[in-house]
Amino acid sequence: MTRKRVVLAGASGLIGSGLVETLRERGDHVVTLVRSRPDGDLPPDTQVWGPRTGSLDPSVLDGTDAVVVLNGAPIAGKRWDEDRKALLRSSRVEPVGTVARTMEKMANPPPVLVTASAMGIYGDRGDDVLDETEPVGDGFFAELCGAWEGASRPAKAAGVRVVNMRTSLVLSDRGGTLAPMIPLFKLGIGGRIGDGKQWWSWISDDDCIRAFLHVIDNDISGPVNVASPNPVTNSEFTKALGSALHRPTFLPTPRIGLNIRLGSELADAIAYVSHRLKPAVLEASGFTFTHSTIDSALEAVLS
């Protein structure tokens, strides 16, 4: 495979750090974008940009085969007051918009723009099976994801192949979904949330990174559900995690506890909402999953 030059923003996050490592391992040249210049000389293969101010030197993108934008403040970092919602939006929409508008102005923009998004774009859909043709749902998180993806339109208008990666729950030993859950389950106090019937779509860390590589390397555009073909209910997820850790899962997590810790709106958006994703685009394009069942994914992560 021909060595690629990839510019990546958001390299410090769970997906970004893994993607940078994997791209470099396969021989690609990765340039990361940072918001401020560190003390001393700028590290190799690093460029400074201003995602909030719309500042990005087009020369940084010259000769680039793909640009990946993964910026965004943590969804579950703090309660969703109005200031937090504004930060969640600006930290996602503005970086994508800055890159897309820069591409739009270039005579020869990079051929591919890959942006992060999330399954929250569908809203709470119960038992509905959700492929990429489903419309944007209701609620703050869905509207946020819609704006996030919409920020890439100037690049698409300029003829760039744009891919919006709608990630599900990423299972990793480096953080993410499992980080706050494992300590509770190890203590034997992990349990289903609510009635446990809500669908939790998920993907292993390894398959998530491979999915990003897949869309960079193949002629895929538009929204892509980054999820295993086998979503599970919260009850099934709970039992699988308890089994993998050899711990009981008898006690349900009281709703009032999550509401106190996260606030009711955030708790509803990340714990009680139901997302039953179908990765139709990945499957149609020949992508194969290393971990297609929750048991195999948890075994790989926890080992």
Helix (H) or strand (E) holding 165: strand 161-167
DSSP 52-83: TTTB--GGGGTT-SEEEE-----TTSS---HH
Task: Work out the angle at residue 166's Cα, subtended by the Cα atoms of residues 34 and 287, and round it to the nearest 5 degrees.
Answer: 105
Half-sphere exposure of 188 (CA within 13 A, CB side): 3
User: 112: helix, coil or strand?
Assistant: strand
Strands 202-204 vs 112-118: parallel, antiparallel or unpaired: unpaired
Mean pLDDT score across all residues of the chain: 94
CA–CA distance, 234 with 174 (Å, rounded to integer): 22
What pLDDT was estimated at residue 24?
97
List, in order of start, the domains of the chain with CATH numbers: 5-302 (3.40.50.720)
CA–CA distance, 131 with 93 (Å, rounded to integer): 23
What pLDDT was estimated at residue 264?
85
User: 9: helix, coil or strand?
Assistant: strand
What pLDDT was estimated at residue 195?
93
Low pLDDT (below 70) residues in the chain: 1, 37-40, 260
CA–CA distance, 212 with 235 (Å, rounded to integer): 29
Half-sphere exposure of 150 (CA within 13 A, CB side): 10
What pLDDT was estimated at residue 1?
66
- What tens digit of pLDDT does each residue of 236-258 get? 999 999 999 999 998 888 777 77
What pLDDT was estimated at residue 164?
98
The two structure tokens encoding residue 27: 């021989």
Helix (H) or strand (E) holding 211: helix 205-217
CA–CA distance, 36 with 55 (Å, rounded to integer): 12
Q: Which amino acid is at 59?
A: S
